[in-house]
Amino acid sequence: MATQDKLNAEEIESLLTENSKDIIEQFLTHYGQRSRANMRSAVYRLLYLELEKDDVSDVTYADYLKIFPNGGKNLLTQENYRHSFFKFLYAFEHLTNPSGFEKTMIKEHEKLQFIQLKEPKVKVVKEKRKNTLTIEELAKIQKVIEAESTKIDTLKFQFCWYCIFELGMDVDEVKFNIKSDNFSDGILTVNGDSYKLPERYHYMFELLKERGDYNGFVTLNDLFERLGNSAKLERKLLPVMVKLTRKGYMVTCGNCKKQFTNLSHNWCSVNNRIVCISCAEALKKN
């Protein structure tokens, strides 16, 4: 058979036996669609131009050594395609005379490699831990937040939670702008906004003033870490998690259009409609 270097892949295909074309297609099914065109071209040229054969069954070990005298080490991409083709012919018993291949290949091992190539690859996606708290974590924290305490550290992290989760303050606002002298007669004033605080925090601010602690809550990160530890969370509680959780649990009152967290004490049913407590009280009076 004369070698014709200028033949393209389509022309070579027309000269191959049906048996060859069928086996080559079986070989290509073990690889992705993107690489098949290049692999097909490499195999066609190997078979017809280099080995001068039109039927794959006629390939021998001597043909293999002619192409890969060193056993197929340090191969380039195109060379690797052709080397894999030899492995495929031997592993799936497509050769009339397979003698000699056993010296460099283990049939069952090579077959397993091709089978694994064909199996669909399951993409393992490592689940990222969300930066929001789960409902279970919220429940644990709520128990700690609602617990009565006179310990200053406990009151401080309860207060920080209240400011960010309940009042919606920014983390930096709580961290740097709230000082002991921002509080007077039950009212906390921050950046021009006033908040009437629960009585437990009145005691905290008075105690901070007595101690001369005017630095506010710059240790917010540490305070939330202690809160998370007290709630026995399995991960470190960060201020950003509290802020993002609040955002996810906010509900808009259909009457006043203001937003409140979805905690039950913020809401009431009026004529079978859920509204915020403030609106409920006003509507009931009317």
* Whether residue 255 sits in one domain with residue 205: no
Mean pLDDT along residues 99-122: 83
* Whether residue 34 sits in one domain with residue 72: yes
* Whether residue 215 sits in one domain with residue 139: yes
Please check the confidence at residue 136 and state whether its pLDDT lies above 90: yes
Full domain range(s) for residue 65: 9-118
Q: What does the buried/exposed string (b/e) look like for 143-165 if buried means 16 or more CB atoms within 10 Å of the residue's CB?
A: ebbeeeeeeeebbbbbbbbbbbb
Mean pLDDT along residues 224-253: 92
Q: Is residue 41 part of a domain?
A: yes
Q: Is residue 2 part of a domain?
A: no
From 118, 146, 175, the end of a domain falls on 118
Q: Is residue 279 part of a domain?
A: yes
* Whether residue 257 sits in one domain with residue 236: no
Q: Is residue 196 part of a domain?
A: yes
Q: Is residue 142 part of a domain?
A: yes
Which residues, at least 6 apart from 57, have a Cβ–Cβ distance to it below 8 Å?
19, 20, 94, 95, 96
Q: Is residue 227 part of a domain?
A: yes
* Whether residue 261 sits in one domain with residue 235: no
Mean pLDDT along residues 96-109: 91
Which uninterrupted H or E stretch holds 260? strand 259-261
Q: Into how many domains does the chain fold?
A: 3
Q: What is the CB neighbour count within 10 angstroms for residue 199?
A: 7
* Whether residue 259 sits in one domain with residue 234: no
Q: By the 8 A CB rule, do 82 and 67 touch?
A: yes
From 118, 151, 174, the end of a domain falls on 118
* Whether residue 113 sits in one domain with residue 20: yes
The number of C-alpha atoms within 13 Å of 232 and in the hemisphere containing its C-beta is: 4
* Whether residue 253 sits in one domain with residue 236: no
Question: Angle of helix 135-146 relative to helix 152-161, nearest 10 degrees?
Answer: 130
Report the pLDDT value the prediction gives residue 122, as an integer from 0 to 100.
64
* Whether residue 255 sits in one domain with residue 232: no
Report the pLDDT value the prediction gives residue 3, as an integer from 0 to 100.
45
* Whether residue 284 sits in one domain with residue 219: no
Report the pLDDT value the prediction gives residue 1, as an integer from 0 to 100.
42
Please check the confidence at residue 222 and state whether its pLDDT lies above 70: yes
From 240, 260, 277, the end of a domain falls on 240
* Whether residue 100 sits in one domain with residue 36: yes
Residue that is written with structure tokens 């690859």 in the block: 121
Where would I find the H helices in the chain? 9-15, 18-28, 33-44, 61-67, 77-91, 107-118, 135-146, 152-161, 171-172, 199-211, 220-230, 239-248, 277-285
Q: Is residue 198 part of a domain?
A: yes
* Whether residue 219 sits in one domain with residue 141: yes
Secondary structure of residue 194 in the 3-state scheme: strand
Q: Is residue 128 part of a domain?
A: no
pLDDT band with cut points at 50, 70 and 90 for residue 79: confident
Of the candidates 93, 92, 64, 90, which has an alpha carbon nearest to the alpha carbon of residue 79? 64
CA dist., res. 139 & res. 131, Å (int): 16
Encoded tokens for 19: 């048996």
CA dist., res. 107 & res. 89, Å (int): 10
CA dist., res. 227 & res. 140, Å (int): 10
